[in-house]
Chain A
Amino acid sequence: MQQNRKVERRTILKAGGASVAALGLGATATACGGGSGAGDGTVTIRYAWWGAEDRAKRINETVKLFEKKYPKIKVKTDFQVYTDFWKKFNTQASGGNPPDVFQNAIGFLRKYDAKNVLLDLSEQVKAGNLSMDGFRAGLEKFGEIDGKLLGVPVGSNSMALVIDKPVYTKAGVKPEQGWTWDDFDAAMKKIRDKAGRAGDTGPYNVMYLYDLYLRQNGKAFFTEDGLGFTEADLKDWWTKAEKGVESGIYADQKKVAQIKPKSAVAAELSGGEFTWDNFTVRYSSEGKSEYGLAPIPTTDGKKTGQYLGSLMLSASKRTQHPKEVAQFIDFMVHDPEVAKIMGYDRGVPATQAQYDAYKPTDPVNKEIAAYEESLVAAGVLEPITPHPNGADVCEAAFLRLGEELGLGKRSVDDAVKQFFTESKTALSS
């Protein structure tokens, strides 16, 4: 018996050791995932955004500034490029572990509100942790959906034609407010012939540009709960695109695909492309040339269909530190020092205080300011197109199918049909 006991004890000791080791591993894993509060009253909040390296540098500086002012709040940061950001966010949010505070945009507000992910920040406004005063151009309303405050704008931006200035000069093209699509096509040909490169990366798969085109014609990409255009509309748009690709006024999609995530403009594949005006900041850090902004072509010589868009900060409904998160957002949108660090990276600052604090001195940012001022002066800004739940999936499909069209892998009819099938599925779920 004695021997047996000996065996037993040893066995149990060994087995126990193994289990303890296993438990230990488990415990460290949980510790990494969960704990956000320490004994001394310090709390840690997680902050995530999408963007490029350049934006990350600036944001990390602002976070340092925040931590200095609020020594009891630590901020853990994380960033990805746009599409990867949403994949990661979606997975984290579904697992009940989204970042406490994160960058957001209009296209995702309804989607994640429907999924019960977004915190209604109006409680925090009432409690005095977050001020919604002092915003420019009615921006304080941008994050409001069905009476809930789901996002706080950090800046405003608008669609523009971002151009490689020397290329435009070389081709002798001078876009002016109110130029038409015919003018635009003529300009593209000039650039192709005189500057020896495609005039545009390819406007046909940019959802936000097609939206403007539709708005110029009294329609829009989305209604409150569906698509705002017909198959025939899209057929016209993409038929024109197909011709543009064939004639070489739009860039070769094979080449564009290979240089991603770098932009085709910065990679000198095209003379310009339609995107958000604050992107010149990014292109200037990516490319060697000088980049500027040109107005959106019009249908009637007047109406551009433009509106202000906005990046926002949202909070997670699951956060254990709503107060700290509100203080963080408040600091990021109101503090003048933050504006000086960020510049126009996320658009023109949303609050008057930040707008006044940063007066651009470099040509890139100066031009963004001038562009937005010119939009106000021209009186072309209108209310934003609604973004129903599923808008993001439609945008991805539009981009992808347009690209397949550009690559010659799909006929116009086929691409249109497929887009309507996919977006109907996305918008009905």
Chain B
Amino acid sequence: MGTTVTHAPAMEDLSKDSEPRHGPVKSPRPAELKRRGRRENLAGYLFMSPWIAGFLLLTAGPMVASLYFAFTDYNLFDSPKWIGLDNFSEMFGDPRWRHSVQVTIWYVIVGTPLKLLAALGVALLLAQKRRGQAFYRAAFYAPSLIGASVSIAIVWKAIFSDDAIVDRTQKIFGVNVGGWTGDPDMIIYSLVALTVWQFGAPMVIFLAGLKQVPRELYEAAEVDGAGKLRRFWNITLPMISPVLFFNVLLETIHSFQIFSSAYIVGGGAGGNACGPADGSMVYTCYLYVQGFENSRMGLASAMAWMLLVAVALVTAVLFWSQKRWVHYEEGAS
């Protein structure tokens, strides 16, 4: 890279930088090229060093350590004791753990499709040319930017409390279930609502996908007399299926990792970190409770690895399934 001299105007602007490469000398010999390449590599690595160090020290290192802790009894203070698979057998036997798995799966199964539906629906609306298009796109995207923040979670909790806006609105329709945040069965739906509201990121990706669908296909279909629904079903959906697949994958993985919103919306309820009667006790919340409240870092590490394995499995299944429903333009299927 960077050894061939191009005449792109951008390069000319950086005349100082490109000077040595231009040089009045004849084109460099291979050995010199190699050396130069190595030097540039070195420079590159030096520049990256803060990130490499960060990755090794803050991500890779702790991951390896937590893999080890997963097989130990470790309370942060005493040195870890090797206990083999005990953490895993305890985990599977723990009803609270099973409950957290249930809550999480429920959240993923309900939340992810709803979010993608919302994203696709709005993307279809915004794909058409209309006035103020840029504004609408920005407006719909905004929740994605702020949705993960602590302040939004706090506002969310307020919105879904007793006698707050949601409670009052549902009362107008004769639904009298009270605030959702105090109800062990309903609190998870306030979290689902929160994630659905943040449909902006998949929406943008859908929009990009929709732009790629060739106009001719629609025109041809229209000539053949295909209605709107039919065009969507037979052209749009297959054509954007790679994008859909990408979004399903990303959002599913993302949903499994829900923590901060569950922790805050459900937080402060009695001795619970995660909702009344563990109503919003998603997997990562329980992991946090075991690790930081009960000081059982070994068990918490085992739980974290279990989650990783589970997410990997789900991802694998999704990849396997794509053969059946994802259409790549150049591909055979």
- B182 interface neighbour in A116, A257, A410, Cβ under 8 Å: A257
Chain A residues near B40: list those with CB within 8 A: 11
How far, in Å, is A28 (CB) from chain B's closest CB? 14
Known: A4-B36, A407-B276. A14 touches B47 (CB 8 A): yes
How far, in Å, is A254 (CB) from chain B's closest CB? 4
Near A by CB (< 8 A), chain B positions 276-295 give 276-278, 292-295
Contact A115 B294 (CB under 8 A): no
Contact B95 A418 (CB under 8 A): yes
Contact B277 A410 (CB under 8 A): yes
Residue in chain A with minimal CB distance to B296: A429
**Chain B 159-184 against A: per-residue CB contact (8 Å), 1 yes, 0 no?**
00110000000000000001101111
Contact B272 A3 (CB under 8 A): no
Complex alpha-carbon distance, A224 and B137, angstroms: 64
Complex alpha-carbon distance, A150 and B294, angstroms: 22
- How many chain B residues touch A (Cβ–Cβ < 8 Å)? 43
Residue in chain B with minimal CB distance to A117: B77
How far, in Å, is B198 (CB) from chain A's closest CB? 24
Q: Is A8 an interface residue (CB 8 A)?
A: yes
Known: A4-B36, A258-B181, A407-B276. A19 touches B268 (CB 8 A): no
Contact A91 B292 (CB under 8 A): yes
- A18 interface neighbour in B49, B96, B182, B272, Cβ under 8 Å: B49
Near B by CB (< 8 A), chain A positions 125-182 give none
Known: A257-B270, A258-B182, A429-B75. A3 touches B20 (CB 8 A): yes
Complex alpha-carbon distance, A426 and B268, angstroms: 22
Complex alpha-carbon distance, A6 and B25, angstroms: 15
How far, in Å, is A316 (CB) from chain B's closest CB? 13
Chain B residues near A205: list those with CB within 8 A: 270-271
Known: A15-B46, A255-B162, A409-B184. A90 touches B76 (CB 8 A): yes
Chain B residues near A6: list those with CB within 8 A: 20
- A256 interface neighbour in B32, B50, B75, B270, Cβ under 8 Å: B270
- B294 interface neighbour in A255, A261, A407, A426, Cβ under 8 Å: A426
Quick check: which of A51-59, A183-191, A398-406 contacts chain B, the rest being far away? A398-406
Contact A14 B271 (CB under 8 A): no
Q: Is A31 an interface residue (CB 8 A)?
A: no
Known: A253-B276, A258-B269; 15 extra A-B contacts, CB below 8 A, are A7-B36, A11-B40, A22-B50, A83-B271, A93-B77, A115-B75, A115-B78, A254-B162, A254-B183, A257-B182, A257-B270, A257-B275, A396-B271, A403-B276, A429-B75
Give residues in A with beta carbon < 8 Å to B. Answer: 3-4, 6-8, 11-12, 14-15, 18-19, 22, 25, 83, 86-87, 90-91, 93-94, 115-117, 205, 253-258, 260-261, 393, 395-400, 403-404, 407, 409-410, 418, 426, 429
